[in-house]
Structure 1
Amino acid sequence: MDTPQPNTLMPRVAKTYSAPLRAWHWLNMLVITGSLATVIINATITDDRANSTLIKTELQRSGAIITDDQARQAAHALGDSVWGIHIYFGYALTILLIARLVLEWFQLADQKLIRKVKTAYHQYKTVKEQRQRSRHEFAVKTLYAAFYLLLIIMAITGLFLAFEDALAAYRSIRHSVKEVHGFCMYLIIAFVIVHIAGVVIAEKTDSKGIVSDMINGGN
C-alpha cells in the first residue's frame, strides 16, 4: 500500500501586515521622529534668544566686537539650518504619504484601512456579543484614519510653508497655515503617545505579539 505523500503545495497563509505596509510603518516612524526632533532642537538647543547671548559672550571673550543684532542673526542662521533638515523630513513624509495611498489601493481587500474601519463599524453595530471589544476595535481603526488625515494636512501645510516664495499670492494666509501646521504637530505627538501606550497595554493583555507581527507580518 502506497504511503501518502505530504502535501508540499500547502496554500500560503496571508500575512496580517504585508511587507510593504510594515516597511512603510517603520520608515514613517523614523521620519516623524526625525521631524519632531528638529522641532524640539529648535525650541531648545538652537533657540535664538539663548544662542544669541551665548554667541555674543563667547566672541567678546575672544576679543571680537559684535552687536546684539549680529548675534541674533548668527543664532537665527543656526535655527535655519535645523529647519532645513526639518523641510527634508517633510519631503520624505509627503513621499511616504503618497506611497501609503498607492499601497492602500493595491493592498489585499481585508488589509485595506477603509475596509477595516467599515468591518469594525459593522461588527460594532450588528454583533451583540463582545460589544465592548467591537467598540474598541472600531475606535482604534477610526483613530488610525484620523492619523492619516492629520498627515495629509501636515504635508499640505508643510509644502505651502516650504514653497511660500513661489506662492507669494497667498502670503496673507501664511500665518494661518503655520498655525494649522503647528496644531497638527501637537495632535500627532498626542497620537504617538496614545499609540505607544495602547501597544504596551495590548502586549500585556489580550494582543500579545502585536509588535512582533509588525516586524514579521503575523498570520
Structure 2
Amino acid sequence: MDNIENFRKNMKHPDIMTKHSVAVRLWHWSTLIIIMGSLVTVLLNSTLFDVKNNASYIQEQLQSVSVNLTPQQAKHVAHGLEDKVWDLHSYFGIALAALFLFRLLSSFFETKEQRFFFILKKYIKNYRTLSKKSTQALHDVAVRVLYLLFYIFLSIMILTGLSLTFKKELDIDPATSHSIKEFHEFSMYIILAFIAVHMMGILLAELGKDRGIVSQMINGHK
C-alpha cells in the first residue's frame, strides 16, 4: 500500500498529485457552470415552456381579454417562446465548445508529467507491476478511464450540438438533423451519469482517506 501511495503522490514531481494548474481549475469550474446552465434550459423547455401546455395557456389568456387565436396560432407563439430558450441553450453550447478548445490547447503547455495520457500510462504500468492484485491501483486506472470516456462523450455532445446550431449553414437535412439530435441527447445522458458518479466519488473520498479533493480543485492545494 505504501508503494501505491508513493506512486500516486510522487511521479517524478511530488506536487503534481497535490496541485492543479490554474488553467485546469478554471476549465473545471467554468465547464460545470456552463453544463448546469445548459441543463436548466432543457428543464425549462420540458416544463415551463412546454409547447402543448403553453399553447393552451396563451389561447386562454388572450381569450380573457377578447383576443381570439386559433390553436395553430397559439402553438406558433408557444414555439417562439421555446425557441428563445433553445437560443440560450445554443449559446451555452458554444461557450462549452470554447472551453473544451481551451482545455485542449492548455494541455500543450503542461509538463509531460501533468498530461492526461502520461498519467494514465503510469497508472496502468503501476497496476501491471503489482500483478493486478491491488484494488487501489485498479481504482486509479478505472478513474482515469472514466475521465477519458467523459472527454470522448463531451466532444460528441459538443460536435453534435454545434451541428444542430448551425444546421442551416451546414445544409443538414431534417432526417440527418434528427439522428444528430438523438446522438446529442444520448451523450447528454452519459455526461449526466458521469457527473453523478463523479459527485458520489468525491463525497466518498472526502469522507474517507482522500480528503481535500474539493479544496485542491479550488485553490490548487489540499
Both structures adopt the same fold (TM-score exceeding 0.5): yes
Q: SS where residue 206 of structure 1 aligns? A: coil
2:74 to 65, 71, 76: 71
- Specify every segment of 5 or more residues in structure 1 that has no aligned partner in the other structure, as ranges: 1-11
Q: Which has the larger radius of gyration?
A: 1
Identity among equivalent pairs (%): 39
Aligned to 1:181: 184
Q: Provide TM-score, normalisation by structure 1.
A: 0.90
Residue 59 (structure 1) aligned with residue 62 (structure 2): yes
Residue pair 1:164, 1:171 contacting (<8 A) in 2 also:
no
What CA RMSD, in Å, does the superposition of the two structures yield over aligned residues? 1.7
Aligned to 2:204: 201
Q: CA deviation at 1:29?
A: 0.5
Residue 146 (structure 1) aligned with residue 149 (structure 2): yes
Residue 88 (structure 1) aligned with residue 91 (structure 2): yes
* Shift in CA distance, 203/175, structure 1 to aligned 2, threshold 3 Å: same
**C-alpha distance in structure 1 between counterparts of 2:204 and 2:184, whole Å:** 30
2:137 to 134, 138, 156: 134
**C-alpha distance in structure 2 between counterparts of 1:119 and 1:75, whole Å:** 54
Residue pair 1:16, 1:111 contacting (<8 A) in 2 also:
no
- Specify every segment of 5 or more residues in structure 2 that has no aligned partner in the other structure, as ranges: 1-13
Residue pair 2:132, 2:138 contacting (<8 A) in 1 also:
no
Aligned to 1:212: 215
How many residues align? The count is: 208
Q: SS where residue 108 of structure 2 aligns? A: helix
Q: SS where residue 66 of structure 2 aligns? A: coil
**C-alpha distance in structure 2 between counterparts of 1:203 and 1:94, whole Å:** 31
Aligned to 1:3: none
Q: CA deviation at 1:127?
A: 2.0
**C-alpha distance in structure 1 between counterparts of 2:199 and 2:109, whole Å:** 27
Q: SS where residue 56 of structure 1 aligns? A: helix
Amino acid paired to 1:144: Y
Aligned to 1:156: 159
Residue deviations 1:70-99, cap 9 Å, x none?
111111111100000000001001101111
Residue 124 (structure 1) aligned with residue 133 (structure 2): no
